[in-house]
């Protein structure tokens, strides 16, 4: 009987130890799951914050670019407006001219009008362009505005003679 009791106690201790080990293992597993869930939640939160920051930065960059584009378009339009005022004055003077001066002034005025219409078309194209196309459209528009100024100078020179 004593042997039986000894064996019973030994079995109980062995099973109890295994049960305790299983409980400890389960607790470790649960703790690991909680830590993993916390890390995942932190990573998702960090990713969402970075995404939101990137979206804010992108929106700010787009606004800055749009502002710069509007400023460039406005500057080009102001240049053309100033040229137009001078051209109106020259056309008035050309109407009063006579002879060879009048013929030359009419030719210079026609050249000015042709270049002015090209620059106006470029401004319309500039309004609808975006990205890299906008930069090349802006360069072309500036080139054509400079061409209009050159034509206006030629018109003015023609009337001065």
pTM of the predicted structure, to 2 decimals:
0.65
Token representation of residue 150: 């050159």
Express each pLDDT in 68-107 by its tens digit.
899 999 999 999 999 999 999 999 999 998 899 999 999 9
Q: Which domain holds residue 113?
A: 2-160
> For the stretch 92-103, what's the b/e string if a residue is b when 16 or more beta carbons lie within 10 angstroms of its beta carbon?
eebeeeeeebee
Instruction: For tokens 């042709």, name the residue.
Output: 114
d(C-alpha 86, C-alpha 97), whole Å: 17
Which of 127, 26, 116, 120 lies closest to 70 in space, CA to CA?
Answer: 127
Instruction: For tokens 């500039």, name the residue.
Output: 126
What does the pLDDT read at residue 35? 94
141 by Cβ neighbours in 10 Å (0-12 / 13-18 / 19+) ranks as buried
Domains in the chain, number: 1
Binned at pLDDT 50, 70 and 90, residue 131 comes out as confident
Average pLDDT over residues 138-146: 94
Helices (H) and strands (E) in the chain, counts: 3, 0
């Amino acid at each position: 009987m004593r042997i039986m009791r000894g064996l019973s106690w030994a079995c109980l201790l062995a099973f109890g130890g295994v049960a305790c080990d299983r409980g400890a293992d389960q607790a470790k597993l649960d703790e690991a799951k909680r830590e993993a869930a916390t890390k995942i939640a932190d990573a998702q939160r960090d990713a969402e914050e970075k995404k939101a920051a990137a979206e804010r930065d992108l929106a700010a960059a787009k606004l800055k670019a749009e502002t710069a584009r509007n400023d460039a378009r406005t500057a080009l339009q102001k240049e053309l407006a100033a040229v137009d005022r001078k051209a109106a004055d020259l056309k008035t003077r050309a109407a009063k001219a006579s002879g060879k001066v009048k013929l030359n002034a009419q030719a210079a005025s026609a050249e000015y009008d042709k270049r002015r219409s090209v620059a106006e078309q470029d401004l319309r194209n500039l309004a609808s362009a975006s990205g890299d196309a906008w930069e090349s459209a802006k360069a072309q528009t500036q080139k054509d505005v400079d061409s209009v100024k050159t034509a206006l100078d030629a018109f003015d020179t023609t009337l001065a003679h």
